[in-house]
Copies of this chain bind each other. A is one copy, B any other.
Amino acid sequence: MIKYPNGLNKTYTKNTPTNIKNATKANLGIDFEDLINHTNKYYLEHNIACIYKKPTPIQIVKVNYPSRNKAKIVEAYYKTPSTTDYNGIYKGKYIDFEAKSTKTNSFPFSNIYEHQIKHLKTVSNMGGISFLIIQFSLKNEIYLLPTIKLVSLYNNSLNGGRKSIPYSYFQENAILVNINKINILDYLQVINSYYNI
């Protein structure tokens, strides 16, 4: 099992968000989303990939206009996302994934919507590259789980199997994603070898 390098305490570029600057093993969980966004920003700036987090979907009910050009939303609600958090392009291929963090020793299927799993499957069937990235925050480990494995386990859970994926499964069947020396969660390197692209 590969451990993170000590890079988290190294020098950062001016583009590193403050909360990643201060990241340590202890608070990595909180910064998981920032870590991915920071990584995607690095990929974009280095012309490696163009991958963005989608905005959180909001149902807007009421908007006021306190001044001529200023719209102030005064009543709105969170909506269920239709798809996944992240998508974009890498080596001409369509990339799509959901990122989740768990504080326990397993990833419960209740942490992801069924239609999100279906979406990942659709993308995969259409020739895209889709996967789940799971952070086990207490272990400070991040795994990439390809959709084909996720779907197989999920279908199994619907037929009376486990309603969660244990940590041990990830250790044996998923791919550990390391944070490299420049504090990038280099999941595309994993994609390179796993999907042979």
Contact = CB atoms under 8 A, between A and B. Distances in A.
Contact of A92 (B73, B77, B127): B127
A3 to B, nearest CB: 33
Interface stretch (A80-88, A149-157, A188-196): A80-88
Contacts of A54: 54-55
Q: Please tell me how many copies of the chain the complex holds.
A: 2
Interface string A51-62: 010111110100
A13 to B, nearest CB: 20
Given A71-B78, A74-B74, A55 B52 contact: no
A91 interface: yes
A182 interface: no
A129 to B, nearest CB: 10
Contacts of A126: 47, 49-50, 89-92
B88 A50 contact: no
Nearest to A87: B87
Q: Classify the secondary structure of A's interface with B.
A: strand
A191 to B, nearest CB: 14
Nearest to A90: B126
Interface string A29-73: 000000000000000100101101011111010000000001111
Given A52-B83, A75-B72, A78-B71, A89 B119 contact: no
A49 B122 CA distance: 9
What are the 5 closest A-B residue pairs judged by CB atoms, nearest first? A92-B127, A55-B57, A89-B94, A73-B76, A94-B94
Interface of A: 44, 47, 49-50, 52, 54-58, 60, 70-79, 81-83, 87-96, 119, 122-123, 126-128
